[in-house]
Chain A
Amino acid sequence: MMSTSEAPKIERPPRSLSSPTLGLRLLSLDFGRQIRARKTLTLVAIQLLPVVIAAVFVIWRDVDGMNLFRNTIEHVYIPLLLPLAALFFGGPTIVNEIEGRTITYLTLRPLSRATLFLAKLASSISVALVATLLPVLALFGVCMIGSGDPLGDSLPMLGAALGAVAVGAITYTAIFAFLGVLFSATLLLGIVYFVVVELVFAAIPIIELLSVKFHLRTIAGFTSSDRAGFLDRLILEEPLNFEWWFGVLIAGLMASFAIIVSTLVFRQRQFHV
């Protein structure tokens, strides 16, 4: 037994306790865990469904490949599959840890709450990017087969689509993570957000600027053609259209707001698990 005042002598290997090191480590470990998760495989399978359908059309029907690509991005990926992926990964960023009561283990590591949250969010965004960008690339590949156009002519469209999907994955994931941190429940709130902001608001002139979808369409180079036309005529002479960079700027501001507020809230969160 030791003497009373002697501090325990414990030998252990050297370690780095710097926030960037621990943050990056959490990011990589969490990314690896998420990418191998069954739900990720399920989501990727869902994201690949349009690719399979496109392949059927390209093989058995005479379709314009690039037109098919554009329509699928505009009407399937941006309004539906992209928010779905973000809901899958963004909401559970912290909520899963709280509901699974594993948050205790993470908050007992020597990394700050802010680093912990940002690393987990970065991991979720990374998985969401992989799960959405790869199917878009696959779709492009399939559609290229059905298109007689040279690859060079189609690359700008691919770039715009990838840009919109990437910005969307980041922004939506940040927003859903923000809702998760604020309310510790994601699915129902995420669906409410999606219906109210991304479906209803997105159909109303001016108000549509609050939706992420509007800005993603701007980035992808789509016009506001899916809005109710009579509302446009009541309020505006013609639909609102902006340059792509404006879409990136606004979506970036939305994501930044969500990330900053949720980090500040998470720093003060108490865990009754």
Chain B
Amino acid sequence: MSTTKTTESGPDTPETTPVEPKSSSEEPEGSKASKEPAKVSVQNDPKEGEQVGVDSIVRIGRGKTVVAVRRLSYWYGQVIGVNDISLDIGQGVVGLLGPNGAGKSTLLKLMTGQLRPATGMVTVNNQRVWNSSKTFAELGFVPEQDAFYEEMTGRQFVTHLTRLQGFSADDATELAAEAIETVSLTEQADRRIREYSKGMRQRIKIAQALAHKPTVLFFDEPLSGTDPVGRRRIIDLIRELGDEGRTVFVSSHILHEVQAMTSDIVLINRGKVVADGNLFRIRELIDEHPHRIYVECDKSREFAALLTPFEDISEIQFSERGFFVSTDDPDACYGRIPRLSLEHGFKLQAMTSQDNNLSAIFRFLVP
């Protein structure tokens, strides 16, 4: 993650001055990134009288700024959906993380011109998005909603929308076939969409966003409803798109989904960016604090007794059906629990952590 300061020269021409430029070879990927020092910016609410401006613009992704968001706000009546967000997004995959209702979808709708900003603006390739149709020639969007022209086949759907990107019938057919192939749906392409499974519908949505080969892509919860194989394919595809130098902005409320795609993240909550930076570093910071793991098995008390001798275990608290174990070394504890249950013949029914999810990150970042 490269951290830059942005010199504001008007939202249409965002100029960036890199403070710590990083070559693409240093681009964090998977576990490699976790070993590299990375900067994490945690954004707290400005103090009274403090000016929020040029210095608070989040810079994420590599290369030039492709998507610029400036002081963007959006209100649903009295409720704020997006609250004064400024972002500079470069190339590569950037994850937008936030719990349900954090404002992710609203932000994406603003970035794709579905909604008109109450204040501020969004530019893609230096062109305002709202009511600027030409911007959409370079933009692909996978919406969250499960909406289609159900009577069409997958191929007709993608071809239809690709033709509306200005391509001739032959070219649109070819591009659609290519995109359908990319999402591994060729065999089912001539079936009607109403007959598709949830995962297939998700993939055909992705195909329509890819067919015209846009340079900027927005994915809103792209993995919802997909099976593990489909999920893996979509994750790989998103990573490939980022590696090709496209700007890919992916929203999700599930941490491990985003973690599999990128380590560059923007965390939002209640419509505000609460942190941006390297996901692995944020998790490391969390890991420095005790974790609470919930365990449920057939003989809770006996199993808990097995765990008490370990030094990292600081507390065990029993509940109605299981127990909570607090540990200072979550990685070791996560491995130990299933191993011990197997070795001693306990039936492990559940092992979950309230701390290993997005809520934990938010509890950590937003006290």
Contact = CB atoms under 8 A, between A and B. Distances in A.
Contact of A101 (B63, B135, B145, B160): B145
A26 B24 CA distance: 41
Interface in A180-226: none
A108 B63 contact: no
Contact of B161 (A8, A9, A19, A109): A109
Interface in B143-166: 143, 145, 147-149, 151-152, 160-161, 163-166
Interface in B127-183: 131, 133-137, 139-141, 143, 145, 147-149, 151-152, 160-161, 163-168, 171, 174-175
Given A26-B164, A108-B136, A110-B134, A102 B149 contact: yes
A8 B244 contact: yes
A17 B167 CA distance: 9
Contact of B114 (A11, A15, A104, A112): A104
Interface string A242-273: 00000000000000000000000001101111
Interface in B89-144: 91, 109, 112-116, 131, 133-137, 139-141, 143
Interface string A1-38: 11111111111111111010110011001000100010
Contacts of B164: 22, 25-26, 29, 106, 109, 111
Contacts, number: 133
Interface residues on B, range: 35 or more
Given A6-B245, A110-B133, A270-B116, A22 B166 contact: yes
A25 B161 CA distance: 11
Interface string B228-242: 000000000000000
Interface stretch (B208-216, B313-321, B357-365): B208-216
Given A4-B21, A17-B134, A104 B63 contact: no
B88 interface: no
A15 B244 contact: no
Nearest to B81: A272
A111 B213 contact: no
A29 B160 contact: yes
A21 B167 CA distance: 10
B63 A6 contact: yes
A67 interface: no
Given A12-B175, A12-B213, A17-B134, A1 B24 contact: yes
The interface centre, meaning the residue of B140, B147, B244 with most chain A CB atoms within 10 A of its CB, is B147
Contact of A7 (B64, B152, B160): B64
Contacts of B135: 110
Nearest to B21: A4
B276 to A, nearest CB: 18
A112 B131 CA distance: 7
B39 interface: no
B62 interface: yes
B27 interface: yes
B256 interface: no
A71 interface: no
Interface string B243-255: 1111000000000
B22 interface: yes
A17 B165 CA distance: 7
Given A29-B164, A110-B135, 15 more contacts: A3-B24, A6-B63, A6-B245, A8-B91, A8-B245, A16-B166, A19-B133, A25-B164, A33-B152, A33-B160, A101-B143, A109-B165, A113-B131, A273-B114, A273-B147
- In the A-B complex, the 8 residue pairs with the smallest Cβ-Cβ separation, listed nearest first, are A101-B147, A15-B166, A8-B245, A13-B171, A110-B137, A2-B245, A109-B164, A110-B136
